Structure 1
Amino acid sequence: MAPWLIAAILTQGALALGLLWYLGTIRIPMVMRGEVRIDDIALERKGWPKREWQASNAFDNQFQLPVLFYVGAGLALYFGPTSLEVALAWLFVVTRYAHAFVHITDNHVIRRFAAYFAGLLLLCLFWLDLAVRLVLSL
């Protein structure tokens, strides 16, 4: 089971790195073409257009719930992951990809929230499972 959980962790990490790459493909050309002045973005984000904000927010979101996912996945690896934990991990990762996709496309708030909330529920189940395993191992 451990290789499948590690694959989920790497897939989640790939999402963050992919979003960062995408953000670079937006930012660098805008600066190079002079559409965005460096002085306007040096200290705050207000100088960026909406498309950049969407991508930037999608990237920033990878350091919220996913941080708890990484910690939980590390604990699961320590205990020896169960098939339930691997399934919950993969479902969580799918919701993060859905959330990011909505964020960088039409940014439909209801759909984005639905993906976020589904991921939150899956993460809560993941942590509950880990807590039960800890209590049972005492």
Structure 2
Amino acid sequence: MTHDLLLPMTAHVAWTALLYVLLTVARAPAVWGVGRRADGSSPWAAVEPRIGANLSNQFEWPVLFYAACLLLMLLGGVNRWAIGLAWLFMIGRVLHSGVQILTTDIRLRGLVFTINFLAVLGLWATVLAAGWR
């Protein structure tokens, strides 16, 4: 069970890699002229900054997710609860990306971020419990 956190961690790495690909595609019209409209504009102009901002977000709160997962593996504290929280975090990251990239609804984005926030806090509570036993 110790290594069961590797899959949601790897899923987040894959998600982040996918966002890099998406950002590269979104920047292609401006950088390489690929996919430019007839008037020279980029069809991705409105969404490209949101993709970039979301990609930056993948290196903020998720750092605490990785730290908690690694500590749980080292402490032998991986259990079904931790695995569920790790997957909840991953699902929350995908939802958060969708909301941030496809909408400008800050309130909804904050609500969706709460899923990630609570999942990581739950993982850290699990780390504390594992460290005290």
Q: Normalization by structure 1: what TM-score?
A: 0.83
Could you tell me which residue of structure 2 aligns to residue 41 of structure 1?
Answer: none
**What is the root-mean-square deviation of aligned Cα atoms in Å?**
1.8
How far 1:79 moved relative to its partner?
Answer: 2.0
Could you tell me which residue of structure 2 aligns to residue 15 of structure 1?
Answer: 15
How far 1:30 moved relative to its partner?
Answer: 2.1
Alignment of 1:128 with 2:125, yes or no, is yes
Please list every run of at least 4 consecutive aligned residues from structure 1 whose deviation after the TM superposition is greater than 4 angstroms: none
Unaligned 5+ runs, structure 2: none
Count of aligned residue pairs for this structure pair: 125
Could you tell me whether the CA contact under 8 Å between 2:3 and 2:73 is conserved in 1? no
Equivalence map 1:57-76=2 (5 Å):
57-76=53-72
Equivalence map 1:1-138=2 (5 Å):
1-33=1-33, 49-80=45-76, 81-136=78-133
State percent identity of aligned pairs: 26
How far 1:49 moved relative to its partner?
Answer: 3.8
Q: Normalization by structure 2: what TM-score?
A: 0.86
Tell me the secondary structure at the aligned position of residue 107 of structure 1: coil
Could you tell me whether the CA contact under 8 Å between 2:72 and 2:130 is conserved in 1? no
Deviates more, 1:48-57 or 1:10-19: 48-57
Could you tell me whether the CA contact under 8 Å between 2:8 and 2:90 is conserved in 1? yes
How far 1:119 moved relative to its partner?
Answer: 1.0
Q: Which amino acid aligns with 1:27?
A: R
User: Structure 2 CA distance, aligned partners of 1:70 and 1:97?
Assistant: 16
Q: Which amino acid aligns with 1:124?
A: L
Structure with the higher helix share, 1 or 2: 1
Deviates more, 1:6-15 or 1:108-117: 108-117
Tell me the secondary structure at the aligned position of residue 63 of structure 1: coil
User: Structure 2 CA distance, aligned partners of 1:3 and 1:125?
Assistant: 18
Q: Which amino acid aligns with 1:6?
A: L
How far 1:107 moved relative to its partner?
Answer: 3.1
Tell me the secondary structure at the aligned position of residue 132 of structure 2: helix
